[in-house]
Structure 1
Amino acid sequence: MPFLKPRKVSVTDTKFEKCKRNGWRKSIFSASWPLKSCYIGDWKNDKKDGKGFQLSGTKWLYKGDWWNGYRHGYGMLGKVLESKEIWKCYIGDWVKGKKQGFGGSWYIDGSYYEGNFWQNNRHGFGRMWYGNGDFYQGMWKMDLHHGDGMLVKANGNRYEGYFFHGKKQGRGIYYHINTGQIQEGCWDNDVCVVGTMEDLYWRQSAHHSTFYPIPENKLLDSGDIIARRENEVIGSQARD
């Protein structure tokens, strides 16, 4: 009976295995000046794995957890500006190189988001403070308002209800804080298609209160609608 001989590993493979980076290392990926890209941190089998710090050639800076070469775990992403200051862009959870989980994100226009992410998109429950003064709290889907939520405008007006792909859709309530009224009904593509309008008890203290009482709504037939549109056209032509 022949004896089994152990398989020999080539010298090249042995040297290759010994050359793999493991443990804490400092690596420079470009020898040109100024420095374009570098990484300082832990390695495992020649891949970033553990804690590390990376500065890319496009001046993006990441500091945090790595796994199998990906940003994975918890970390901070920032941008090095021309003034040498670091603009913090995102801090939170990562999964295989993408924002996923809970985190906070800062935007160029001054907006700030805090909540859940999925595949680099705002997805799930979150809050957004917009640079123009608006505020949104509720559900998100692929970076858009989607589901139950509350949108507060910079002037104080507030909508509470359902959103679909970033627009008011379905049943909701709109508080006209500047006029002292409340509007409740059904919305379609950001427009209230059917609903009721009532005065709030503090209407007279509103900044731009409406005439009281609210004029009665009347159902117009097709002839009245056509006549009204003709009068609007004539009036606009006369102003021009």
Structure 2
Amino acid sequence: MPFFKTTQLTPQYTKLLDVNSQKCGLRHTFFETNGDEYNGEWQNNKKHGIGTQIWKKSGTFYNGDWKFGKRDGYGRYSALVPKTKNYELKYDGNWKNGKKHGYGTYFYNKSTVYEGDWSEDNRSGSGKIHYENGDIYEGRWMRDKCHGQGIIQHVNGNSYEGLWQDGKKNGNGKFYYLEKGQIYEGFWVDGVAKCGTLSYVGKDDALTPIKHPIPKVELVDMELVLRKTQAAHLDQHIKEERKKRGKN
């Protein structure tokens, strides 16, 4: 009967082999079973330091800082363009825990570009965006929507400066009509002007000034009427928002 000599590994030696087999430091390209590729630095078997990742299925590419297996620090994220087979830059900026976080620039397309603050993949803080139609918004953001004080310059010259909420004009604001040489100053609810005053601004330079003059306000206390009306609209808006949240 043949005799086979076996070697039993001690727990300490087994642990040492496992540690030595882990990826640490700078490595050559690492290929995953799904076709993804990574080339860069490692620490304790996780992507850590500077490295480049290619996701085959989504056709995306990242080059920059990593921390414990996630994008963290500064990096550039690109997407593959099928027609040209080249990568097109989508985001250039800061990351945290695998998400866009901090200051960065996102290219939605060649005409629509956002530059400003991010929080967990959402536009939040101060930022400026150039829309595809030529409009430009600059101001505060929250959860990927215009929220707070901001101003939008329309391509036709008109502009709005005031408060925003959930991506719509909400609160006190001023809307300037360039072609008519007028300015509306008042209260807005969900993008609709509810109560305010209309006056002339640069009427002589207006392209298409109105033919009939704005009638004079003959109220004894115009400001009081405006405040009461605004308060009523605000109260109604709050009630409607509560109903919506109750349904959800």
Identify whether the pair has TM-score above 0.5, normalized to the shorter chain: yes
Q: For 1:163 and 1:109, how far apart are their aligned partners in 2?
A: 26
Measure how far apart 1:196 and its partner are.
Answer: 0.6
Q: CA deviation at 1:86?
A: 1.7
Deviations 1:58-116 (A, max 9, x none): 21100000000000000000012121222110011100100000000000372100100
- The equivalent of 2:229 in structure 1 is none
SS at match of 2:11: coil
Amino acid at match of 1:127: K
Task: Give the alignment's TM-score, normalised by structure 2.
Answer: 0.79
Identity of aligned residues (%): 36
1:208 aligns with 2:208: yes
Partner of 2:173 in structure 1?
172
Amino acid at match of 1:27: F
Give 4+ residue runs of structure 1 displaced > 4 Å after superposition.
215-219
Equivalent position amino acid for 1:12 in 2: T
Distance 2:89 2:163 in 1: 32
Q: What is aligned with 1:148?
A: 149
Aligned to 1:61, what secondary structure does the other structure show? strand
SS of the equivalent of 2:17 reads helix
- CA deviations over 1:158-202 (Å, ceiling 9, x no partner): 1010001111111111101121101101111111111111111x3
What pairs with 1:71-150 in structure 2 (closer than 5 Å)? 71-82=71-82, 83-108=84-109, 110-150=111-151
The residue number in structure 1 matching 2:31 is 28
Q: Does 1:12 align with 2:11?
A: no
Q: Which runs of 5+ in 2 are unaligned?
A: 1-9, 220-248
Q: How much is the aligned-residue C-alpha RMSD, in angstroms?
A: 1.9
- Superposed, which structure 2 residues align to 1:198-237 within 5 Å? 198-200=199-201, 202-214=202-214
Other-structure match for 1:224:
none
User: How many residues matched?
Assistant: 207
Superimposed CA distance per residue, residues 128-175 of structure 1 (whole angstroms, 9 cap, x where no aligned partner): 111111100100000100000001111111101000111111111110
Displacement, 1:30? 3.4
Q: Which runs of 5+ in 1 are unaligned?
A: 1-7, 220-240
Give distance in 2, aligned partners of 1:147 and 1:207: 32
Give me the whole-angstrom Cα distance separating, in 1, the residues matched to 2:78 and 2:217.
55
> 1: CA distance between counterparts of 2:134 and 2:38?
39
TM-score (norm 1): 0.81
Counterpart of 2:61 in structure 1 is 61
Q: In the TM superposition, what is the alpha-carbon distance from 1:12 to its structure 2 partner?
A: 2.8
Secondary structure of 1:207's aligned partner = coil
Residue type of the partner of 2:173? G
Counterpart amino acid of residue 162 in structure 1: L
**Distance between the aligned counterparts of 1:208 and 1:143, measured in 2?**
36
Q: Deviations over 1:212-239 (max 9, x none)?
A: 31256899xxxxxxxxxxxxxxxxxxxx
Aligned to 1:232: none
2: distance between equivalents of 1:144 and 1:81? Answer: 27
